[in-house]
Amino acid sequence: MTCSLTYDLVVSWDAELTALTEWVAGPMFTRPEPRVTFPDLVRSLLADVPRKNCWQLANHIGHVKAYRFEHLLNGAKWDADALRDEVRSYVLGHLGRPDGVLIADDTSAIKKGD
């Protein structure tokens, strides 16, 4: 199967990511501020940012300071297990196949030795 990368295809991915992050953030966060910040955090984590810390991610997404991301990760009330379950449910429902296998390999980390 060949996939031709077009502008319309990329725009559709953007719309799907927006819909997904808003759908997950809706019931996940009780306050509106984390609900608004969550999609920005996801987008910045998916971006080609050399160092994935709050300051670098905030700078990439256009925030003046890292406070929003810091508050989301350290101060906002949310359930990490519930978020994991929602992501798992989405992946199984949209990307999963009965004969599929997920392999996670962080080959970007430089290793020493054998």
Mean of pLDDT over the chain:
86
CA distances from 56 to 16, 32, 50 (A): 25, 23, 8
Asked whether residue 74 is assigned to any structural domain, the reply reads yes
How many domains does one find in the chain? Answer: 1
Structural domain that includes position 77: 7-94
Asked whether residue 107 is assigned to any structural domain, the reply reads no
**CB neighbours of 70 closer than 8 A, spacing ≥ 6?**
54
Asked whether residue 86 is assigned to any structural domain, the reply reads yes
Where does 29-53 have alpha helices with state H?
32-46
Cβ neighbourhood burial of 26 (10 Å; 0-12, 13-18, 19+):
exposed
Predicted confidence at residue 99, as pLDDT, reads 84
Asked whether residue 38 is assigned to any structural domain, the reply reads yes
Predicted confidence at residue 9, as pLDDT, reads 84
Asked whether residue 54 is assigned to any structural domain, the reply reads yes
Predicted confidence at residue 111, as pLDDT, reads 62
Asked whether residue 103 is assigned to any structural domain, the reply reads no
Asked whether residue 99 is assigned to any structural domain, the reply reads no
From the list 59, 57, 34, the residue with the least C-alpha distance to 45 is 57
What are the structure tokens assigned to 94, written together?
């949209």
Asked whether residue 67 is assigned to any structural domain, the reply reads yes
Weakly modelled stretches of the chain, pLDDT under 70: 1-3, 106-114
Predicted confidence at residue 74, as pLDDT, reads 93
Cβ atoms of 38 and 28 within 8 Å: the answer is yes
